Structure 1
Amino acid sequence: MVNPRPDPRSDPRSDPLYVRTAVPADLPRLAALRAEAAAWIALEHGSAQWSDPYDAQRGLALIALGLTVVAALSPHGEAVATLTLRPTGSPRLWTGEELALPARYVSSFTVDRRYAGHGIGTRLGDWASWRAARAGAALLRANVWSDNAALHAYYRARGWRWVRTAAGSRSGALFERAADAVAPPLVHEAGRLRA
């Protein structure tokens, strides 16, 4: 089923974005966002990104740790985006020297396709960069799907620097950007969030 586009009279680029810690009740929405993104990526970009079944147990574990957030267009609205912000990176991907630098690591970054092109991903990424800086990190990092050139272009267009592609990993394209001490405009935290 194709979701209808939002009302064109309402432009989410000028609406506040509300970020909150995900809760177990969000799990079906997170799984749906990922499935929708995987189908779109396969169709539009020919990438197998996220083609494996969603791991609900892993999703719940990240929620329990307070690492996954959702973003909505109203304080208690439906999630239109999500990401996980971790305090450590994978030693399979990042070198010991890189892991020694203060950084935060973004994963499972997904935006509802109905809101594509409305700047929600950019704002949520800016929020993650600001949260990383608040936690004392100098860098925000991501490992993204290696064969998804469009995703690599997306990150580069938003100020991320390609570090390298780690051999032997489907999601080994490594990107980083400086953490930003300035809070992004129109992004509000709805409730207490983990640093």
Structure 2
Amino acid sequence: MLNSAPDTMPDDAPDDALYVRAAHPGDLPRLAALRAEAAAWIALEHGSAQWSSPYDPERGLALIARGATVVAALEPDSEAVATVTIRPTGSPRLWSAEELACPARYLSSFTVDRRHAGRGVGARLGDWAAWRAGCSGARVLRVNVWSDNAALHAYYRARGWRWVRTAPGSRSGALFERPTAAVAPAGVHEAGRLRT
């Protein structure tokens, strides 16, 4: 995954509702803005070049067309405060043939608006993704993150993700996984039909 640290959630953070829906082409400017904001924050706070390459709108549209990208908002039909892409296949450059044979889903582009960091948005969206992955028959949810982003590695570990290994030769080769969930997370609501 080419992510920012989605957020941190203090114990006393409010448990706001989260509304998840499939992204549509009209979301493309917001997705590009979330990525640009995350890249600037990561560079400033963590010294990482993660997401320093320009957002690719054609790739973004292709993922939207496949139903792989979702957005989350704090109110129905309001501005997206987070996004994640969930795919049924992982990269054979990163994951072994044995790992790819295991029923899994793969996250990418997991981003939370920095104005909402600390509210648990990323944690709840990650829990939702684990539940949706389980609904699809996957046993694990996986992500590959930038190898030099130690803060992001700590974020995932703190939320129950297990570090698998770091794939050599890839700037986003730190591999993590977590079991899927059998129960939908409280306070997360889906709008419309999702294909993830």
TM-score normalised by the shorter chain: which range applies?
over 0.9
The amino acid across from 2:54 in the alignment is P
Asked if 1:168 is matched to 2:169, the reply is: yes
Q: In 2, distance between residues paired with 1:172 and 1:34? A: 19
Greater RCO, CA 8 A, separation 6+: 2
The amino acid across from 1:66 in the alignment is G
1:102 corresponds in structure 2 to: 103
- Once the two structures are aligned, what percentage of the paired residues are identical? 79
Q: In 1, distance between residues paired with 2:57 and 2:68? A: 15
Asked if 1:178 is matched to 2:179, the reply is: yes
Scaled by the length of structure 1, what TM-score is found?
0.93
Superposition misfits of 4+ residues, deviation over 3 angstroms: none
Displacement after TM superposition at 1:12 (Å): 7.7
CA deviation string 1:25-69 (max 9, x = no partner): 000000000000000000000000000000111000000000000
1:91 corresponds in structure 2 to: 92
2:34 corresponds in structure 1 to: 33
Displacement after TM superposition at 1:75 (Å): 1.3
Q: Are the counterparts in 2 of residues 88 and 103 from structure 1 also a CA contact under 8 Å? A: yes
Q: Are the counterparts in 2 of residues 12 and 73 from structure 1 also a CA contact under 8 Å? A: no
2:15 corresponds in structure 1 to: 14
Q: CA RMSD in A?
A: 1.1
SS of the residue 1:14 aligns to: coil
Q: In 1, distance between residues paired with 2:13 and 2:46? A: 25
Q: Are the counterparts in 2 of residues 129 and 178 from structure 1 also a CA contact under 8 Å? A: yes
The amino acid across from 2:154 in the alignment is A
| Unaligned 5+ runs, structure 2 | 1-11
Scaled by the length of structure 2, what TM-score is found?
0.93
| Unaligned 5+ runs, structure 1 | 1-10
CA deviation string 1:68-108 (max 9, x = no partner): 00000111010000000000000000000000000000000
CA deviation string 1:113-142 (max 9, x = no partner): 000011000000000000000000000000
Aligned residues: 185
Q: In 2, distance between residues paired with 1:12 and 1:109? A: 20
